[in-house]
Amino acid sequence: MTKALPRVLIDRFQRRVDYVRLSVTDRCDFRCVYCMAEDMTFAPKPHILSLEEIHEVARAFVELGVGKIRLTGGEPLIRNNILSLIKPLGQLPGLDQLAITSNGSQLHRLAGSLRELGVKRVNISLDSLQPRRFRNLTRHGNLDQVIAGIDAAVAAGFERVRLNAVILKGRNSDEVLDLVNFALQRGIDIAFIEEMPLGLIDEHNRALSFCSSEELREIVSREHPLVPLGDPSGQDGPARYFRTGDAPTRIGFISPHSHNFCHLCNRVRVTAEGRLLLCLGNEHSVDLRAVLRAPDYTLDTLKRSIVNAMDIKPERHHFDLDETPDIVRFMNTTGG
């Protein structure tokens, strides 16, 4: 007899998986220096899951107790017809929180529709407030357009808007306070993310440019005394958050190197090609595209593959900036 499907996903280490990050495209209109090489080869289009397939994956996860989905990429908002995926996801029974991570380039035109269709939270990447430097770090980005996108997101009334900043020593490390002040002025959150060695890049030496969360916290504290809000939680992700004064802004630090948060990990990722990745820092994965495109496909077979995948979720990641990365995939394939 076939075993009944569980209602929730639990891995071998008794961690409940209730959060999925779905990459809807590996393509992007930017080429951020820490994320991509200048010349990138993207997956052939037929390898990328269709919007219907992505919806099916989301449905399977939600029926297995996942309450939070974040759409990411590449740049999720440059995927053709993305709103036609977001609309049904916003109405998926059982899905409590639909969120997006974006580089902000399209938000000036899409923020209002995203909010109306049920997106609750938006994370927007912003590494510099200096137009030339912003262009240099993103290789293609237009700062004014991204700031207009951030302001459109604030005006759209999302439950939460958070800026994400990756700080590289000697590149934008002198802008930490400016970025915090920018978030404070708008009453939105900001998180500083330590650079991770995902993919081989030769634009800079990741070990030399590394800025630890400790260093950044020290810089912020010089102007804004920080009050901790407790340890990271599954709900809020791996950031350690602080408040300053009575401002609504939370200032977070995501420290995959200096603070290992794997014991709290409640998430898995699905790449744009349908590979279910059990850990950002390991290659353990299951090919959901093969399941979706099998002649005998049913939602049940998809759910079973996801349940079985929980047995190979690794206990933790190991990142070493001085070693050649074990993980050759770039962040855009996984979506952060």
In the region spanning residues 72 to 91, those forming contacts with ligand SAM, defined by CB under 6 A, are 72-73, 75
Query: How far is Cα 34 from Cα 198, in angstroms, rounded to an integer?
Result: 9
Nearest Cα residue to 281 out of 194, 167, 223, 218: 194
Question: Interacting stretch for ligand SAM, rule CB under 6 A, among 38-46, 100-108, 109-117, 151-159?
Answer: 100-108
In the region spanning residues 245 to 274, those forming contacts with ligand SAM, defined by CB under 6 A, are none
31 binds, among ligand SF4, ligand SAM, none (CB under 5 to 8 A by kind): ligand SF4
Count of CB atoms within 10 A of residue 170's CB?
A: 10
Query: How far is Cα 158 from Cα 152, in angstroms, rounded to an integer?
Result: 10
Query: How far is Cα 22 from Cα 3, in angstroms, rounded to an integer?
Result: 27
Nearest Cα residue to 179 out of 202, 195, 162: 162
Residue 119 makes contact with ligand SAM by CB under 6 A:
no
Residue 238 makes contact with ligand SAM by CB under 6 A:
no
198 binds, among ligand SF4, ligand SAM, none (CB under 5 to 8 A by kind): ligand SAM
107 binds, among ligand SF4, ligand SAM, none (CB under 5 to 8 A by kind): none
Residue 35 makes contact with ligand SAM by CB under 6 A:
yes
195 binds, among ligand SAM, ligand SF4, none (CB under 5 to 8 A by kind): ligand SAM
- By CB under 6 A, name the one of 106, 172, 271, 332 that touches ligand SAM: 332
Show the DSSP H helices in the chain as ranges: 51-63, 82-90, 107-116, 131-138, 143-156, 176-186, 206-209, 213-223, 288-292, 299-309, 331-334
For ligand SF4, give the closer residue by CB, 180 or 196: 196
Q: What is the C-alpha radius of gyration for the chain, rounded to an integer number of angstroms?
A: 19
What is the per-residue binding string for ligand SAM in 183-222, x denoting contact by CB under 6 A?
----------x-xx-x------------------------
For ligand SF4, give the closer residue by CB, 270 or 302: 270
DSSP state for residue 282 in the 8-state scheme? S
Judged by the rule CB under 6 A, the positions of this chain that interact with ligand SF4 are 28, 30-32, 35-36, 73-75, 103, 125, 331-332
Residue with the closest Cβ to ligand SAM?
336
196 binds, among ligand SAM, ligand SF4, none (CB under 5 to 8 A by kind): ligand SAM
DSSP state for residue 233 in the 8-state scheme? B
- By CB under 6 A, name the one of 20, 22, 24, 28 that touches ligand SAM: 28
Structure tokens of 196?
């991770």
Query: How far is Cα 29 from Cα 10, in angstroms, rounded to an integer?
Result: 36
Q: Which residues pair with 69 in a beta bridge?
A: 20, 98
Query: How far is Cα 210 from Cα 257, in angstroms, rounded to an integer?
Result: 10
CB of 127 to ligand SAM, least distance (A): 7
- By CB under 6 A, name the one of 103, 106, 213, 271 that touches ligand SAM: 103
Structure tokens of 297?
């496909």
Number of residues near ligand SAM (by CB under 6 A): 20
The amino acid occupying position 327 is I
Count of CB atoms within 10 A of residue 123's CB?
A: 21
Label the pairing between strands 227-228 and 240-243: antiparallel
285 binds, among ligand SAM, ligand SF4, none (CB under 5 to 8 A by kind): none
Task: Catalog residues that contact ligand SAM under the rule CB under 6 A.
Answer: 28, 34-35, 72-73, 75, 101-103, 125, 164, 166, 193, 195-196, 198, 331-332, 335-336
